[in-house]
Chain A
Amino acid sequence: MKKAKMSVAAKKEERWAWLFVAPTMLGLIILNFYPIVSTIYQSFCKTGDFGKGNIFIGLKNYQAVLVDPEVWQSFWNTIKYAIIEVPFGIAIALVLAVLLNKKMIGRSLYRTIFFVPMVCAPAAVAMVWRWMYNTQFGLLNNVFHTKIAWISDPKIAWISVGVIGVWSIIGYNMVLFIGGLQDIPGDFYEAARIDGASELRQFWSITIPLLSPTTFFIVQTRIIGALTVFDLMFMVMDKTNVALKNVQSAVYLFYQYAFTNGNKGYGATIVVVLLIFIMILTFILQRVEKKWVYHN
């Protein structure tokens, strides 16, 4: 097929189009695409100091990473974190969104309160939680008169960290859900009420299906977000915390290797493996989307 010749006006328009997308494209290329390519390249290298003198070693880093129990443990830790953060962060946010979508006094105040964790600096949030969890002097143990090592007992530390993740993300998910709820036409609920459907029935038969595009978007972005978690573990767990091994995420381990130990090649390999894992997961999710998401 022969390409249709563009008119002068269309050409002019195209130039403008390029001009408008140029800043975004430049940003993406410099801040995203180039680092991705560079990271992948480094994962095949024994990296030198300060990015100089990289020696190509093929798949040796991958061979080392894939048999390193510490790496597997960190991947498992990351998945455990995601298992807490994603479902709970979404379920609680959905319930809150439905409640706060109703007309009530002080609605915007409540919405603001739930959104506040999102506005706080993650480091500050982590520091406050760290002290609340403190075994000897923490608020939690003092209020409940317990002696639980929330963040030092390897059996429960991962849950404690997951709870902070849920608490931090609820507000953001909630705002997205409220946006989705407001797109659902009121007629449907009216018709359902006339037919005598209960509130709960309306929720399951109207809200959930019509909200599914929003839900899917949140699920997908949160899974990616949870699998790349770093700051929570970094801020809450001391380097000498005995539970660190059972909580440190894949990105935490990457940070340790790439920036503390100065072994960029090994660090790069860890994140490339993580990237491949996330890509596979996203691919599966996209397939599932066609089945589960209801498009109006």
Chain B
Amino acid sequence: MRKTGFLSAALAACLAAGFTMSASAYDVDKITVNIWDNNQLAGLQQIADEWTEQSGVKVQIDVVDWDNYWTLLESGASGGTLPDVFWMHSNVVQMYMENDMLLNLDEYIEKDDKIDMANYYEGVTDLFTRDDNGSIYGLPKDHDTIALLYNKALFDKYGVDYPTDDWSWEDVLDAATKITEGGKDDGVYGYAINTSNNQDGWYNLIYGYGGNVVSEDHKSSSIGSDEAKAGMEMMRKILEVSAPQMTVAETGTDALFTSGLAAMITQGSWMINTFYKAENHDDYAWAMIPYSDANGNGACDEGERVSCYNGLGWSAKADPEDPQACYDLISWFCQEEQQKEQAKLGVTMGGMKGISEDFASAFEGMDVSAFTKVEEAGSLFFRPYTRNTPVWEDALQQDGAFLNAWQDPSDPELMAQACDNAQTIIENAIAAE
């Protein structure tokens, strides 16, 4: 009795599976997706479910935190067990493309009238284009920018005017000096930044003052140039009145800020949710990233306000069971309508140009237009990368490079030396690629 019961149940299951399979135009009934940002899961799942409704293919999105994501992806790539669809990042994408780990999207894009590569941010598109054959291996999912985050309650308490969209880094320095002085007894600092806040921090000063970390062709660096040093000298002055490096390393700049112990930090648009959901979010406000008054005329000139930007791509593994299904999902995420939805839901700004205005109002009660305004009022530079970015990116943050300068910001020599060391580190890393 029990046996027949089991058998008929199994039969019914087979039949049901058979029916759902035949109802769909695809060879698979599920696509696995990996991402690393839990903040985006709900919104992306919603967009993916809308695709499931019309395609009949389930989309299972799994979140793996940033550090483990790359370990997992690399072992998946080595062992042939990559997820079907996943996020790609500037740090390593060249390596994945060159080793044929990703699906070549050229023929699919050609047949797809909803995708025109000209509509996307060039920096992001370039990133997912392979140097040697010009093929595209990822569609631009999003882009991000940087803004200044400040705590109004602390500015009120120490009687300092709120940051505005017209601030230069000199203004940040003045305000940070006043707040750190006033907050001495409360353990409050005007500013907080760690060596690891590069894309969302000191990279912007280097580029704002006319230097670069990695050149446009990704083959050299001018981080040891006078321009870059001028930017880092500005950084050093701010560091003198910021939370000590030991404190930011142990506690983290975000935790210092949300605990009301740091009045200003710079942050990327991908972090908005953290602060939007924080306890005292009513006190928090965003201003456009300050400009670098490199020529000292007290006005923001062309090229003086810069924001680093980066973009993720949707990629598929080179040999999925059903490449068309994977591509169609990727295409769905990157079409105009869904890109707008992504911005509207507050997931991220789009990889497509000119569709992100809804993002500015996606967070009710928090004005995040600073992230979208900078695209008109300033210029964007793409996050510096080479073929194997982590090698030098990590070294720059540690002992032997900028960590030494962060330890003792009172000494301008140390910062200049750190820039020179960084130049050597990057050049050696590029030579070893």
Contact = CB atoms under 8 A, between A and B. Distances in A.
Interface of A: 49-52, 130, 133-137, 149, 151-152, 238-242, 244-245, 256, 259-263
B245 interface: yes
A240 B251 contact: no
A50 B78 contact: yes
Nearest to A137: B251
Nearest to A255: B71
Contact of B247 (A130, A136, A245): A136
Nearest to A238: B249
A240 B398 contact: yes
Contacts of B259: 137
Interface in B385-433: 388, 390-391, 394, 397-399, 403, 406-407
Contacts of B196: 239-240
Contacts of B252: 238
Contact of B390 (A137, A242, A245, A260): A260
B139 interface: no
Contacts of B195: 240
Contacts of B77: 50
Contacts of B238: none
Contacts of A149: 246
A231 to B, nearest CB: 13
B42 to A, nearest CB: 25
B250 A259 contact: no
Which 5 pairs from chain A and chain B are nearest by CB?
A51-B78, A50-B78, A152-B246, A238-B249, A240-B249
A111 B102 CA distance: 53
Contacts of A152: 246, 249-250
A136 B250 contact: yes
A152 B245 CA distance: 10
Q: Is the interface of A mostly helix, strand, loop or mixed?
A: loop
B394 A50 contact: no
B250 A242 contact: no
Given A134-B251, A136-B187, A261-B390, A245 B399 contact: yes
A232 to B, nearest CB: 16
B255 to A, nearest CB: 9
Given A240-B196, A240-B398, A262-B95, 7 more contacts: A49-B95, A137-B251, A239-B196, A240-B248, A242-B245, A261-B390, A261-B394
Interface of B: 70-71, 74, 77-78, 92, 95, 98-99, 101, 187, 194-196, 245-252, 259, 388, 390-391, 394, 397-399, 403, 406-407
A240 B400 CA distance: 11
A259 B252 CA distance: 24
A261 B251 CA distance: 26
29 contacts: A49-B95, A49-B98, A50-B77, A51-B78, A52-B99, A133-B250, A137-B259, A151-B250, A152-B246, A238-B250, A239-B394, A239-B398, A240-B196, A240-B245, A240-B249, A240-B403, A240-B406, A242-B245, A242-B249, A242-B399, A245-B399, A260-B394, A261-B391, A261-B394, A262-B74, A262-B92, A262-B95, A262-B390, A263-B391
A29 B391 CA distance: 33
B249 A241 contact: yes
B107 to A, nearest CB: 24
A103 to B, nearest CB: 46
Nearest to B80: A50
B147 to A, nearest CB: 23
Nearest to B79: A51
A238 to B, nearest CB: 5
A256 B71 CA distance: 11
A136 B399 contact: no
Contacts of B187: 136
Contacts of A244: 398-399
Contacts of B403: 240, 242
Given A135-B250, A137-B251, A239-B397, A50 B245 contact: no
A49 B100 CA distance: 11
Contacts of B247: 135-136
Nearest to A257: B391
Most chain B CB atoms below 10 A, which of A52, A245, A261: A261
A242 B78 contact: no
A51 B101 CA distance: 12
A65 B187 CA distance: 44
Nearest to A260: B390
A1 B403 CA distance: 70
A259 to B, nearest CB: 5
Contacts of A151: 250
A261 B74 CA distance: 12
Contacts of B249: 152, 238, 240-242
Nearest to B256: A136
B246 A135 contact: yes
A92 to B, nearest CB: 28
A136 B95 contact: no
B383 to A, nearest CB: 18
Contacts of B406: 240
A263 B245 CA distance: 29
Most chain A CB atoms below 10 A, which of B250, B390, B406: B250
A86 to B, nearest CB: 28
Most chain B CB atoms below 10 A, which of A50, A239, A256: A50
B108 to A, nearest CB: 24
Nearest to A262: B388
